[in-house]
Amino acid sequence: MLSACTTLKDFVHGSWIGSVAWLDRALMIVIDFLFGPLTGQNTRYYWVFLAQALVLLAIVHARQGGTLRGLARFCFPRGAMTHRSTWLDWQINLANQFVGSSVKLFWRLSLPTLALGVSHAIAAAIGPAPFLIDWNLPALLALTLLVAVGDDFGYYVFHRAAHSIPALWAFHSVHHSAERLTPLVAGRVHPFEMALSEPVRAAAAALVLGPALYFAEGPLNLVTIFGISLTGLIFGALGNQLLHSEAPISFGPRWDRILVSPAIHQLHHSRARRHWDQNLGGLLSVWDWMFGTLVLPVPGEKIEFGIAENVRQPHPHLLAAYTRPFLDIGAGVERSVTRVVRRLRAPPPGKLERP
Ligand SMILES: [Zn+2]
Ligand SMILES: [Zn+2]
């Protein structure tokens, strides 16, 4: 994929377009924009992660006795890719390339700095580390997993707040108004939600990485394989890219309590009231199990996706998806102010109003 991108760029440079500086530059931006998510290692749609998802789908399909012909239908259920909700997913994903990804990247890059701050704070509070840990490979593997667990706990905390606090729900509802689940829904996130959630996740991960740095002699590097995040690969193999898919993949009642399977996250997107505000974990469902927000899939249960039953789509197009949350918050503030003003104007109980 990376070489296809480079080849395309070389082709453009070599053509007459290369002699028109501004056009050449504009096309380079467009190519980066289109190929960036697929070629950028550790991005959501990195082709390695997507390939992992396809392999997993093929394995599950084969185990269910599916035919090769049925595989395409299993991977891309009828109508899912052409649904108007999916069309909006494309638009939000593309628009977020401009406004959302930089926010996310900023906090990802800030993690080492935040962790260093935590390490310095510990040193300032209790003095230099009494001993140093030998950060050999097994220790680094454990740390890499622990940082992902910390990050996921931050995600759970923010996600729970997003389902409980009306102002945060206004933004998060954009993700939940998807009516079909494809991997594109993972990027159907309001940029303001990204701006709010990423610091919480980075802070939670820094609370794990910071103490590790305190006990380290020098800088620490989390484990990667050919530059690809180890935890990205592990959770990719466990179907993390398929959380937003309609493939009925469950790990069974025992493991669904520990890890988020596609079936667990599909229930999170169910429009049925009994499923609302449940299954909030991103990688681990153990948080949901611990804090009482877990609902397990029932084999054969039909799930419809969306914000709620009998509710009109609040985000029919990109403009609505981007602006409606602000309008909803404005309306909520207005309602609260009206309520307070009405209460202040009301005569105290027992006092008769003058005729
Ligand atoms: Zn949610
Ligand atoms: Zn989701």
Report yes or no on 332 lying in a domain: no
Amino acid letter, residue 41: Q
Ligand that comes closest to the CA of residue 240: 2
Could you tell me the distance, in angstroms and rounded to a whole number, from the CA of residue 273 to the centre of ligand 1? 13
Query: What is the reported pLDDT for 190?
Result: 94
Closest to 294 measured CA to CA, from 266, 314, 264, 329: 264
Instruction: Give residue 125's pLDDT.
Output: 92
The secondary element (H helix, E strand) that includes residue 168 is helix 166-176
28 C-alpha to ligand 1 centroid (Å): 36
Q: Which ligand is nearest to the CA of 162?
A: 1
Q: Closest ligand to 185 CA?
A: 2
Q: Which secondary-structure segment (H or E) carries 228?
A: strand 228-229
Residue 325: which pLDDT band, with cuts at 50, 70 and 90? very high
For residue 49, the model assigns a pLDDT of 86
Instruction: For residue 275, report the distance from its CA to the centre of ligand 2, in Å.
Output: 13
Q: What is the CA radius of gyration of the chain?
A: 24
Range of the domain at 160: 81-291
Total number of domains constituting the chain: 1
What spacing in Å lies between the alpha carbon of 277 and ligand 1's midpoint? 7
* Tens-digit pLDDT profile for residues 246-277: 988 999 999 999 999 999 999 999 999 999 99
| Distance from the alpha carbon of residue 344 to the mean position of ligand 2, in angstroms | 42
Ligand nearest 160 Cα, by number? Answer: 1
Give 349 Cα–ligand 2 centroid separation in angstroms.
Answer: 48
Q: In sequence order, what DSSP letters do the residues of 18-81 get, joined into one string?
A: GGSHHHHHHHHHHHHHHHHHHHSTTSTT-HHHHHHHHHHHHHHHHHTT--HHHHHHHHS-TTTT
CA distance 198 to 333: 25
- 125-170 tens-digit pLDDT: 998 888 888 888 888 999 999 999 999 999 999 999 999 999 999 9
Output the pLDDT for position 128: 86
Q: Is position 26 within any domain?
A: no
**Cα(62) to centroid of ligand 2, in Å?**
26
pLDDT at 37 over 80: no
Whole-number Å distance, alpha carbon 67 to ligand 2 midpoint, is 29
Angle at 15 between CA 14 and CA 17, to 5 degrees: 115
Ligand closest to Cα of 173 equals 1
| Whether the predicted pLDDT of 114 surpasses 80 | yes
Residue 175 confidence (pLDDT) above 90: yes
For residue 319, report the distance from its CA to the centre of ligand 2, in Å. 21
Q: What is the pLDDT of residues 68-111, one digit of tens each?
A: 888 888 888 888 888 999 999 999 988 887 776 666 666 666 78
Q: Is residue 172 part of a domain?
A: yes
Q: What's the CA-to-centroid distance between 96 and ligand 1, angstroms? A: 18
How remote is the CA of residue 345 from the centroid of ligand 1, in Å? 39
Say which residues have a Cβ less than 8 Å from residue 257's Cβ, sequence separation at least 6: 285, 286, 289, 294, 296
CA-to-CA separations, 326 to 20, 87, 307, 329, 352, in angstroms, rounded: 42, 22, 18, 5, 41
Q: Which 3 state secondary structure label does DSSP give 3?
A: helix
Tell whether 329 is covered by a domain.
no
Please give the pLDDT value at position 3: 61
Please tell me which of 99-103, 241-245, 351-355 the model is most confident about, judged by mean pLDDT. 241-245
Ligand nearest to the CA of 163: 1
Average pLDDT for the chain: 86
72 lies in some domain:
no
* Residue 274 is assigned to a structural domain of this protein: yes
pLDDT band for position 4 (50/70/90)? low
Q: For residue 102, what pLDDT is reported?
A: 66
Residue 178 belongs to some domain of the structure: yes
Q: Is residue 103 part of a domain?
A: yes
The more confidently predicted of residues 286 and 234 is 286
Q: Give the range among 25-39, 300-314, 334-348 with minimum mean pLDDT.
A: 25-39
pLDDT at 230: 86
* Structure-token pair, residue 35: 């190929």
* Segment 278-297, tens digit of pLDDT: 999 999 999 999 999 999 99
